[in-house]
Amino acid sequence: MLKSSFLLPLALSVALSSGGVSADTLLLDSVQTASAVSRPASGVTKERVVQDFGEPQQRLGPVGDPPISHWVYPDFVVYFEHDRVIHAVVPHH
**Claim to verify: residue 45 and residue 84 sit in the same structural domain:** yes
Tens digits of per-residue pLDDT, 28-80?
A: 455 555 668 899 999 999 999 999 999 999 999 999 999 999 999 999 999 99
Tens digits of per-residue pLDDT, 27-42?
A: 545 555 566 889 999 9
Query: Which pairs with CB-CB distance under 8 Å and at least 24 residues apart come from 33-39?
Result: 33/90, 34/89, 34/90, 37/75, 37/76, 37/90, 39/73, 39/75, 39/76, 39/78, 39/88, 39/89, 39/90
Tens digits of per-residue pLDDT, 2-31?
A: 454 555 455 545 555 555 544 555 554 555
**Claim to verify: residue 19 and residue 49 sit in the same structural domain:** no
Q: How many domains are contained in the chain?
A: 2
pLDDT value of residue 92 = 81
**Claim to verify: residue 71 and residue 83 sit in the same structural domain:** yes
**Claim to verify: residue 83 and residue 46 sit in the same structural domain:** yes
**Claim to verify: residue 83 and residue 57 sit in the same structural domain:** yes
Structure pTM? 0.66
First to last CA, the chain: 50
Range of the structural domain that residue 82 is part of: 40-93
